[in-house]
Structure 1
Amino acid sequence: MPVRHWGRAIGAGIVLVTLAGAIKGVATNDNLEWGVVGDYLFDANVLRGLRLTLAMTGIGMVAGLVLAIVVGVMRTSASRIVSGAAAVWVFVFRGIPLVVLLIFVGNLGLFFDDLTLAIPLTGVELWSAPVSEVVTPFWASVTALALAGSGYMAEVVRAGLLSVGRGQHEAAMALGLPQVGTLRFIVLPQALRVIIPPLGNELIGMLKASAIVSVIAGGDLMTAVLGISGVTFRTIEMLIVGTLWYLAVIAVLSVGQYFLERKAAEK
């Protein structure tokens, strides 16, 4: 006779009843106008904000990951100056609140008139442009997300690099591989098993953190729904619209992360 787990059945019943009650309470609440949610779910301004959110998250993630790899490799350097500089980078951009970093980057025009790319100690300018033309709300948001994300992802990259045994480095040196080749062909492929899961979480976290760029009117999804709520005076309904889109995108990213982790585990 199979063993009957009455505790599991009772626990599952309690969960289902509680969930059903919560759904019914929200769905039948007279103070929520679900018609407003349906009317604005595919509104042009909301979809435009969603596209900008996806764009700034994608660009910020790629730029932040590039910075994180550089900083993570620097953190493992034998040079105390190099590793110390990387540690300061991580400390600063992991410690500054994202909203403060957004305000700083978005208001660079208060500190600098122009952004200039020049050859040091020569006075030769390769490129120059006014800050107001370069640091738009969109690019300020991307920059802040990338800098903040690099602080966290650099530690993820460092942990992945340290997870590869020292014997792998020694074997590569014995074969005559340079340090760059060892990092590219030996260390990083093995470190990806450790790096990919937290990077997926970081991507989802960056997507949610992008809602904060509404403080500088970055044109993202949250900026769009808050702008509409200021006209319709249905703040909760518009926040539900934004939440549904965030949940939909995160669901897709979670599925992609699952298969990517399985693929990396097979190698």
Structure 2
Amino acid sequence: MIRLFVPQDLAPGYGVILTLDQSRYLTSVMRQAIGAQVLLFNGRDGEWTATLTETGKRGSLLKVDEQVRPMALGPDLDLVIALVKRGRVETIVEKAAELGVRRVRLTITRRTNVDFVKLGRLDAIAMEAAEQTGRLDVPAVDDPQKLAEILDGWDPARKLVFCDEAGDARPAFQALAGSQAPAAILIGPEGGFSPEEREALRALPFVIPVSLGPRILRADTAAISALTLWQAAVGDWREG
């Protein structure tokens, strides 16, 4: 059944007006007619069935029927990723949503060579990935922020898994054994972290340096690999 994310509250009998893009997708692309059922979620009220009751040039109207899944969240996991080229950062956001990340924090490091990103585009990618994967929330994508500022405001209760390509950290799966949420994974830019950044990160008590193997990985590959290892070692993959 088609799943759509909507911002409105969901409860029996409530009406939900879709955006024009959602309406076109539902009626023109998926060719759904009056009476069709879809699944709705809003990140707060769980998942609900709804019936298409009206269509028109202004959009489509759905009537909420019944809840099929109560609200539930996955592990409390963030991804802190240095800005990279547009295509790669879009892939990272999409895969982070698929792999259960709650929040993507974009960061600027000394070797970051990208200074512009379309947050609206990244939000749309995260929403589409959430719709397709069956999760009940959509990960937030934060405005880019300097790494030093992020670290200065860091909650020490949240462990920061620092993917250190220098090669002298413990293997990620081994280093993560026994850890738990809340956590975050830090991936650097294509040029890697500077020696000063690496030294500063390793000096912080909440940082867990890890290695992703003997090869230098691109940022998108590193992010997917680290998230996969974390979910397998610590996250909700152990429950499936």
More helix by percentage:
1
- Which of 1 and 2 has higher RCO (CA within 8 Å, sep 6+)? 1
Q: Same fold (TM over 0.5)?
A: no
TM-score between both structures, scaled by the size of structure 2: 0.22
More strand by percentage:
2
Q: Which has the larger radius of gyration?
A: 1
TM-score between both structures, scaled by the size of structure 1: 0.21
